[in-house]
A and B are shown apart, each in its own frame.
Chain A
Amino acid sequence: MNKRIYERPLLRKVVEGIPNKFGSLKRLRPISTIDNVEIDSLIEEYGSPVFVLSEKTIRDTYKNAYRAFSTRYPKVQFAWSYKTNYLDAVCRIFHQEGAWAEVVSGFEYEKAIDNNIPGNKIIFNGPDKSEEDLVKAINNKSLIHIDHFDELYMILSLMDQLKERPQVAIRVNMDTGIIPQWDRFGFNYENGEAWNAINRILSSKKMDFIGLHVHIGTYITISKPYAVAIEKLAALANKTYNRFQKSIGYIDVGGGFASQNTLQGAYMPATDTTPSFDDYAHAITTAMTAADFPNNETPMLILETGRALIDDAGWLAGTIMANKRLADGRRSMVIDAGVNLMFTSFWYDYEIYPVHESSYQSEPTTIYGPLCMNIDIVRKNIDFPMLNKGDHFVIKRVGAYTMTQWMQFITYRPNIVLIDQNEKVHLIRKQENKEVFRRQELVPDYLQN
């Protein structure tokens, strides 16, 4: 005889008060497959927890973003933001779709080269470029986005030893109405620093000044500031043309588009408030078209969108380790994935789902990760079904910044698998083990015994 599904006994006090602003709670529907692959079978084969990436979602999202921009502006180029997710398999999918590489360190630059990206399709951003990195980037004719004067002078000092002319742009920071204003990267527009940098570059006659770059911030939920930024860059482009008769080849508006993950403290869920690619594209391309660029030229529009392109494609499946009652009687749950894998849960309210229907009741729950650390909280307060130890869960939209910002604290980082377009599963990063760490560590002779 088949026994009935067990649900833990529950006693809940009926409390009078102000109704919840969203009305009565909806039952959390389980998610048991990703691209038609059973989550249980993924955990069985690849262990728990396991990151799962959907190639179909990556390609669909990219195509949607590219369509939104390319149908509104003639010259559009995406550059895949390596720091958002630099797994080679992920980068190669974006490159196959036509994206260049956008890197911010020597490490990422090496990855882009290994992913067979030609040097002149690598954008080198960031404040951390060593002399060795710059020599490599200059020789490969990569697009160097200069961040500060010390970098500019370092490039100038290298000119005597190198044959190639550096292909440079400057990163410009400015007031676009966004708070906080990001002013730690690049040269400021309002105080004239950006203009000084352009003067220094062009008067040296040793570099090709090819573009202007701006990155106004991250998780920008309104599209208007991008239009403000483009107006200011167009003014800078005109000033450059008037003085040096030099027109720029591209405007790079960076990234910063929000994904559909809800920020902690947000009043409405991000699925209701995040602008679509079409909203961003409309604001940006309208500003590009309206801006009066020198000679009526149309500079190429470069986008370094990361988060909004990959977040939806990533999932994290895992297992419930324990249920507990806190001192005040509230329910808590310990799962086998915490802030070590999702650094991002410090600012996102991640959507987490049971893999199977196991309970028709839900309770306000705090979800903790497995670390022996008080701050390891995945969700502070979520109305969650009463799952049992050993049950599986899956977390949605974990594609961005998790697999690059994760930390190796007290445990190994798990397997990452990719479900291809034919729903076949591929292991794309192996789980770490003690050998990985043994290889890196050295014990001095006197401590050998």
Chain B
Amino acid sequence: MSKLNSLAISDNGFIFKPSTGESFTTNEIGLMIINLLKEGKSADEIISVITEEFDIDAISAGRDLYEYLDFLKREKMLD
């Protein structure tokens, strides 16, 4: 989780990565996922938080979560 903690993240989803100088934007759910990851939540826990709050089934939420985690890994924000 150390990599995520090194990011500067604003409340409206603007992400600055000091190590490379790159900037990113994410949406509300993306921001929620990052915050849950920083709290050390597992993928299954994150899925259940999302399905409780949003109108989505667990399979679809899981599919999107793993794709998002893949993005974060590709941008080297996550191990």
Contact = CB atoms under 8 A, between A and B. Distances in A.
A4 B51 CA distance: 10
Interface residues of A, number: 18
B51 to A, nearest CB: 9
Interface of B: 22-30, 33, 50, 53-56, 60-61, 64-65, 67-68, 71-72, 74-75
B32 to A, nearest CB: 8
Contact of B30 (A3, A5, A11, A13): A11
A261 to B, nearest CB: 32
Nearest to A14: B23
A13 B65 CA distance: 18
Interface string A3-16: 11111111111100
B65 A4 contact: no
Contacts of A9: 26-27, 29-30, 33, 64-65, 67-68
Contact of B24 (A12, A325, A329, A389): A12
A7 B72 CA distance: 18
Contact of A3 (B25, B33, B54, B60): B54
Contacts of B60: 6, 388-389
Interface hub of A7, A10, A388 (most chain B Cβ within 10 A): A10
A139 interface: no
A407 B27 CA distance: 41
A6 B56 contact: yes
A78 to B, nearest CB: 50
A265 B22 CA distance: 32
B26 A12 contact: yes
A27 to B, nearest CB: 14
27 contacts: A3-B55, A6-B29, A6-B50, A6-B54, A6-B61, A7-B27, A8-B29, A8-B64, A8-B67, A8-B68, A9-B26, A9-B29, A9-B33, A9-B67, A9-B68, A10-B25, A10-B27, A10-B30, A11-B24, A11-B25, A11-B68, A11-B75, A12-B24, A12-B25, A13-B22, A14-B22, A329-B74
A317 B23 CA distance: 38
B25 A7 contact: no
Contacts of A8: 29, 64, 67-68
A107 B53 CA distance: 59
Contact of B28 (A7, A11, A13, A329): A7
A361 interface: yes
Given A4-B53, A9-B64, A10-B29, 11 more contacts: A5-B54, A7-B28, A9-B33, A10-B27, A11-B26, A11-B71, A12-B26, A13-B22, A13-B75, A14-B22, A14-B23
